[in-house]
Structure 1
Amino acid sequence: MRNGIEGIDELLRDRLLIMANDRSANDVLSHVPLRTGGLVLTGADAPARCREIRNAQPGMVVAVDYGSHTREIASVDAPFGLATSHGWRALGLADLNEILDGQRDNKVSFAVTPTCFIPPDETGDASVFKAVIGQTNQLDREDTIVLLPCSYRWLRGVSLHHLVKGIRACRHPVALIMQADEDPLKRSHVPEGLRQLCRSCPRLVLWRTDLAAFDAMAHGALGAAVGASAVLRFGVAPRPDNGGGGRKPYTVVLVRRLLRYLRVATLQDWFAHVDPWTCGCAVCDGAPLTRFIDSDIDVCAALQHTVRELYALHYELDATLPGHERIDWWRQKLVDSWEHHRLLASQTDTELEFPKVLQAWRRQSPLPLPSAEQPRGQDQSGPS
Structure 2
Amino acid sequence: MPLLPHGAHAPGSVPHALDGHLMLQVKRVDPAPFDDVSPVDGGLVFCGLKAAENKAAVLRDRPFTGPVLIDPSAYEKHVATPDRPFDAGEASLMAADGLEEQLERQRMQGATMAVTPTALLSAGDLASLEAVAERALEISDDDVLLSLPVDARWLRAPHHHDLISMLRQVPLPKALVLCATHDPLSTAEAAANLREVVSSVPGIGLLRSDLAALDAMVHGAGFASIGDSASARHGPTPDRRGPGPRRRDPAVLLPRALSYHYGETIATAFDGAEAPLCPCGACLEWGAANGSADGRRPLTTFTDAVDTHGAHRHNHAVWSALWEWIMRAADEADAKERWQKYCRRALTEIAGLNEAAGRPGRTFGPSAALRVWAGGEPRRGRL
- Shorter-chain TM band: 0.7 to 0.9
Q: 1:213 to 1:7 in 2, by over 3 A?
A: closer
Residue correspondence of structure 1 range 88-107 to structure 2 within 5 A: 89=89, 94-107=97-110
How high is the TM-score relative to the length of structure 2?
A: 0.84
**Residue aligned with 2:310, SS:** helix
For residues 162-208 of structure 1, the C-alpha deviation after alignment (integer angstroms, 9 at most, x for no partner) is 21122211121211122223212123521111111111112211111
How many angstroms does 1:227 deviate by?
Answer: 1.3
Change in Cα spacing, 1:104 to 1:322, as seen in structure 2 (3 Å) is farther
Q: Does 1:258 align with 2:257?
A: yes
Shift of 1:265: 1.1
Show the counterpart of 1:294.
304
Residue in structure 2 matched with residue 24 of structure 1 by the alignment: 30
Residue correspondence of structure 1 range 201-280 to structure 2 within 5 A? 201-239=201-239, 247-248=246-247, 250-280=249-279
The letter for the 2-side match of 1:278 is: L
The unaligned stretches of length 5 or more in structure 1 are 83-88, 367-384
Matched, 1:118 2:121: yes
Question: C-alpha separation between the residues in 2 aligned to 1:304 and 1:90?
Answer: 40
Deviation of the 1:143 alpha carbon: 0.7
Cα offset, 1:145, TM superposition: 1.1
Report the AA paired with residue 67 of structure 1.
S
Shift of 1:363: 2.6
- Using the TM superposition, give the Cα deviation of residue 93 of structure 1 relative to its aligned residue in structure 2, in angstroms: 7.0
In the superposition, the TM-score normalised over structure 1's length comes to 0.84
Report the equivalent of 1:374: none
How far 1:217 sits from its partner (Å)? 1.0
Q: Does the 8 Å contact 2:187/2:368 carry over to 1?
A: no
Once residues 248 and 22 of structure 2 are traced to their aligned partners in structure 1, the CA distance between those partners, rounded to angstroms, is 24
Give the number of the structure whose residues are more often helix, by fraction: 1
In the alignment, what sits opposite 1:47?
52
CA distances 1:232-291 after superposition (whole Å, capped 9, x unpaired): 212221149x96965445421111121010111111122111221111122211111111
**Which residues in structure 2 correspond to 1:1-384 (within 5 Å)?**
9-21=15-27, 23-24=29-30, 27-51=32-56, 53=59, 56-81=62-87, 89=89, 94-121=97-124, 126-187=126-187, 189-239=189-239, 247-248=246-247, 250-285=249-284, 286-295=296-305, 297-321=306-330, 323-351=332-360, 352=362, 353-363=365-375
| AA at the equivalent of 1:305 | H
Return the offset for 1:360.
2.2
Give the Cα–Cα distance (whole angstroms) in 2 for the partners of residues 10 and 360 of structure 1. 30
More off after superposition, 162-171 vs 135-144: 162-171
**What is the match of residue 6 of structure 2?**
none
Instruction: Please state how far the C-alpha of 1:345 moved relative to its aligned partner.
Output: 2.4
Q: Structure 1's 245 and 109: CA in aligned 2 closer, same or farther, altered over 3 A?
A: farther
Distance change (3 Å), C-alpha of 1:159 and 1:354: closer
Shift of 1:48: 4.5
The alignment of Structure 1 onto Structure 2 pairs a total of residues equal to 350
Q: Is the 8 A contact 2:14 2:222 kept in 1?
A: no
Report SS of the residue matched to 2:283: coil
Residues 249 and 307 of structure 2 are in contact (CA less than 8 Å); yes or no, is this contact kept in structure 1? no
- Decide whether the 8 Å contact of 1:51 with 1:108 is kept in 2: no
Contact kept in structure 1, 2:12 and 2:202, CA below 8 Å: no
The residue type equivalent to 2:33 in the other structure is: V
Cα displacement (A) at 1:322: 5.2
- CA shift, 1:102, in A, is 1.0
Unaligned runs of 5+ in 2: 1-10, 285-295, 379-383
The answer (yes or no) to whether the contact 1:144–1:173 under 8 Å persists in 2 is yes
Q: Could you tell me how far 1:293 is from its partner in structure 2?
A: 2.3
Distance 1:142 1:6, change over 3 A: farther
Q: CA RMSD in A?
A: 2.6
Structure with larger RCO (C-alpha < 8 A, sep 6+) = 2
